[in-house]
Amino acid sequence: MRFSLNFVKEFLSVDVPPQEISSLLTMVGMEVEHYENINGDWVFDIEVTTNRYDWLSILGIAREISASLGKNLKVKYPKIIKDSDIIERNIIIEDIQDCPFYVGREIKGITVGVSSDDISSRIINCGINSINDVVDITNYCMLKWGNPLHAFDNDKIEGNVYVRRAKEGESFVGIDEKQRNLGETNLVIADDKKIIALAGIMGAKNTEVDRNTRNIFLEAAIFSPLIVRRSRRTVGLDTESSYRFERMVSSVYLEYASFESAKLIEKITKGVLGGYRQAGVKPVVKRNKISISFSEMEAYLGASFPKLKATKILEILDFEIQSADEDKLSVLAPLNRFDIEREVDVYEEFSRIYGYEKIPPQIPFLLGNLKKGLNIHGKNLFHLKNELRNFIALLGLREVITYSFEDEEELINIGESSILKIVNPLRKQENALRTTLLLGIIKSVKHNLNRAKSCLKFFEIADIYSKNKKSFKEDPVLSLGVSGGFRDAFYLKRVIEDIMNYFNISEFYYKEGNLESFSNILRIFSGDSELGFYGKIKQKQKKYFDLKEDVFFCQLNLSAIISKTEGKKFKPFSLYPEVWRDLSISLRKDIKFMEVEKIIRKNSLYLKDLSIIDVYKGKDLSANCSAFTLRIFYQSQDKTSLM
- Write out the DSSP string of 450-471: TTT--SEEEEEEEEEEEE-SSS
C-alpha of 371 from chain center: 25
Which residue from 418, 456, 464 is spatially nearest to 438, judged by alpha carbons? 464
Q: Are residues 297 and 442 in the same domain?
A: no
Q: Does residue 133 sit within a domain?
A: yes
Q: Does residue 151 sit within a domain?
A: yes
Q: Does residue 569 sit within a domain?
A: no
**Residue 633 host element (H or E):** strand 625-634
Length in residues, the chain: 643
Torsion angle (degrees, nearest 10) of CA 367, 372, 375, 376 = 130
Q: Are residues 124 and 231 in the same domain?
A: yes
CB 125 within 8 A of CB 55: no
CA end-to-end span of the chain: 84
Q: Are residues 423 and 504 in the same domain?
A: yes
Q: Are residues 254 and 191 in the same domain?
A: yes
Boundary of a domain, candidates 254, 280, 306: 280
Q: What pLDDT sits at residue 325?
A: 86
CB 420 within 8 A of CB 467: yes
CB 333 within 8 A of CB 286: no
State how far the Cα of 35 lies from the Cα of 515, in Å rounded to an integer.
Answer: 66
Q: Are residues 590 and 557 in the same domain?
A: no
Q: What pLDDT sits at residue 366?
A: 47
Q: Does residue 372 sit within a domain?
A: no
Which residue from 281, 239, 335 is spatially nearest to 99, judged by alpha carbons? 281
Q: What pLDDT sits at residue 375?
A: 53
Report the DSSP beta bridge partners of residue 161.
91
Q: Are residues 583 and 558 in the same domain?
A: no
The model's pLDDT over 13-46, given as tens digits with 9 standing for 90+, comes to: 999 999 999 999 999 999 999 999 999 999 999 9
Q: What is the CATH number of the domain that holds 584?
A: 3.30.70.380
Which residue from 294, 306, 180 is spatially nearest to 233, judged by alpha carbons? 180
State how far the Cα of 72 lies from the Cα of 92, in Å rounded to an integer.
Answer: 42
Q: What pLDDT sits at residue 643?
A: 53
Q: What pLDDT sits at residue 367?
A: 44
Full residue range of the structural domain in which residue 597 is found: 579-634
Q: Are residues 137 and 214 in the same domain?
A: yes
**Residue 39 host element (H or E):** none
Number of domains, the chain: 5
Q: Is 91 exposed, middle or buried (0-12, 13-18, 19+ CB in 10 A)?
A: buried
Could you give the angle at the alpha carbon of 493 between the alpha carbons of 487 and 494, nearest 5°? 90
302: which residues sit within 8 A by CB, 6+ positions away?
359, 360, 362, 364
Q: Are residues 592 and 542 in the same domain?
A: no
Look at the pTM and tell me if it is higher than 0.85.
Answer: no
CB 421 within 8 A of CB 465: no
Which residue from 616, 604, 615 is spatially nearest to 580, judged by alpha carbons? 604
**DSSP codes of every residue in 221-264:** EE--HHHHHHHHHHHT---HHHHHHTT---STTHHHHHHHHHHH
DSSP, collapsed to helix, strand or coil, labels residue 429 as helix
Q: What is the CATH number of the domain that holds 19?
A: 3.30.56.10
Q: Does residue 346 sit within a domain?
A: yes
DSSP, collapsed to helix, strand or coil, labels residue 187 as strand
Q: Is 333 exposed, middle or buried (0-12, 13-18, 19+ CB in 10 A)?
A: buried
Q: Does residue 365 sit within a domain?
A: no
Measured in degrees and rounded to the nearest 5, phi and psi for residue 437 equal: -95, 5
Report the DSSP beta bridge partners of residue 512.
522
Q: Are residues 410 and 548 in the same domain?
A: yes
Which residues of the chain are modeled with pLDDT < 70?
83-85, 87, 362-379, 486, 641-643
Boundary of a domain, candidates 257, 280, 303: 280
Q: What pLDDT sits at residue 284?
A: 86
State how far the Cα of 313 lies from the Cα of 316, in Å rounded to an integer.
Answer: 5
Boundary of a domain, candidates 357, 372, 395: 357
Q: Are residues 272 and 293 in the same domain?
A: no
Strands (E), 270-426: 272-280, 289-293, 320-324, 328-332, 398-399, 405-406, 420-421
CB-based burial, 142-163: b 16+ in 10 Å, e otherwise = bbbbbbbbbbbbbebbeeebbb
**DSSP codes of every residue in 606-639:** TEEEEEEEEEE--TTS-TTEEEEEEEEEE--SSS
CB 494 within 8 A of CB 611: yes
Q: Residue 28: what residue type?
A: V
Strands (E), 400-455: 405-406, 420-421, 432-433
Strands (E), 397-439: 398-399, 405-406, 420-421, 432-433
Q: What pLDDT sits at residue 416?
A: 87
Q: Are residues 255 and 298 in the same domain?
A: no
Give the pairing of strands 91-93 and 2-4. Answer: unpaired
Q: What pLDDT sits at residue 178?
A: 95
Q: What pLDDT sits at residue 87?
A: 65
Q: Are residues 477 and 460 in the same domain?
A: yes
Which residue from 537, 535, 534 is spatially nearest to 524, judged by alpha carbons? 534
Which residue from 482, 504, 500 is spatially nearest to 491, judged by alpha carbons? 482
Q: Does residue 44 sit within a domain?
A: yes
Q: Does residue 373 sit within a domain?
A: no
